[in-house]
Amino acid sequence: MKKLVSLLLVLVFAFLCVGCGNAAAQTTPTPVPASEKPAPAETQLPAQEPETTTEHEMEEPINEEESGSTSLVVYFSATGTTRGVAEKIASLTGADLVEIIPAQPYTDEDLNYNDRTTRATVEQNTPDVRPEIANEISLDGYTTVYLGYPIWWGQAPRIMSTFSESHDFTGITLIPFCTSGSSDIGQSDDTLAARAGSGNWLQGRRFAGNVPIDELREWINETGEINMEKTLRLFINDTEVPVDWEENESVEALVHLVAAEPVTVQMSMYGGFEQVGSLETSLPRNDVQTVTQAGDIVLYSGNQIVVFYGSNSWAYTRLGRITDVSAEELTDLLSNGDVAITLSWE
Ligand SMILES: Cc1cc2nc3c(=O)[nH]c(=O)nc-3n(C[C@H](O)[C@H](O)[C@H](O)COP(=O)(O)O)c2cc1C
């Protein structure tokens, strides 16, 4: 049955492609608006002559365009169409942008789906093949990853499996998107999620190469945004305490971090005035010299959360303040040994 479905898919696609000389000719790469985060020029695939990756390029620092954003657009694009959409998403969201660069670039001949013996088609017919990725992609500090790719024979290119299997997506929300001649995203997003085995994978979406910016904006608002009807809740051991959270990018990143599932942080008593514990990921920081008071919740050094039952003076990023809990109650909750705090978005 599966074979019959595949055969039908191939026939439909082959029919759609009659008259197309090659994949590059099938879709016209979208003119990309001037982006603050352009894809590296060396990743543009040439029509005939495959480029080689030089030693220097291999040693380039990863995610060169890092801006402190907690969102990242990661994409693979053989002929530029997905790149155009990825750049638009990055410019709409302010996300960083990084391309998955194949160690062995795909030539026009590799992408010629009219010849069933060429590389891309052979790879798609070989589920276990994992094309090597030339660049190292770091997901450190990102809580949302938009993941883009073209559809090849109804599926994500095998190099996307290489990517999915080589990262730990714990604490990250993944939002797949694809471009294609006409096929929908199908099961390709679910397959990548299954291969990854970690992360909060949202349902993906297919876009035409010339997708209007408004359509992308609407989709980003639907999927990329957190459901604001929920609230960020804080529990000290099993006791929930009300918090007046700051409106800043650190708290926003914290919400993304715990949106998929609650995060528990093991804290340690320190200095007779605070409980401190490490988050697995760093949050954006904007440290300011602060004299804290009992009930203050701050970020220290980007990745440590501190809850005060006394006072201290240091450079912190404010996250919030426990309200409606008396000083005695706070001392009782926080000064009787190490605690665990749990943050959830409910
Ligand atoms: C090997 C190969 C197989 C493809 N299979 C499909 C397909 O099954 N359905 C479809 O609609 N488009 C298919 N396409 C077209 C691409 O999905 C489409 O051109 C895509 O936008 C290219 O993105 P890119 O420029 O980012 O590589 C295929 C292209 C290639 C090269």
Out of 100, 101, 107, 113, mutate this one to test ligand 1's pocket (max ligand atoms within 8 Å of CB): namely 113
Cα distance between residue 18 and residue 239, in whole Å: 65
pLDDT confidence of residue 320: 97
The per-residue pLDDT for range 79-134, each reduced to its tens digit, is 999 999 999 998 888 789 999 999 999 999 999 999 999 999 999 999 999 999 99
Which ranges constitute the DSSP H helices of 155-248? Answer: 158-165, 188-196, 213-219
Residues of the chain with pLDDT > 70, as a percent, come to: 78
Out of 152, 184, 207, mutate this one to test ligand 1's pocket (max ligand atoms within 8 Å of CB): namely 152
Cβ proximity of 211 and 148 under 8 Å: no
Q: Report the amino acid identity of residue 272.
A: G
The per-residue pLDDT for range 48-70, each reduced to its tens digit, is 233 333 333 333 434 445 567 88
> How much distance in Å is there from the Cα of 7 to the middle of ligand 1?
17
Q: Quick check: do 55-229 and 232-345 share a fold?
A: no
The yes-or-no verdict on residue 286 having pLDDT over 60 is yes
Residue 260 DSSP one-character state: S
pLDDT confidence of residue 302: 93
The total of other beta-carbon atoms located within 10 Å of residue 140's CB is: 10
Residue with CA at minimum distance from ligand 1 atom 28: 152
The per-residue pLDDT for range 164-203, each reduced to its tens digit, is 999 999 989 999 999 999 999 999 999 999 999 999 898 8
CATH class label, 232-345 = mainly beta
Across all residues in the chain, what is the average pLDDT?
A: 82
Domain boundaries, the chain: 55-229, 232-345
The CATH superfamily label for domain 55-229 reads Flavodoxin domain (3.40.50.360)
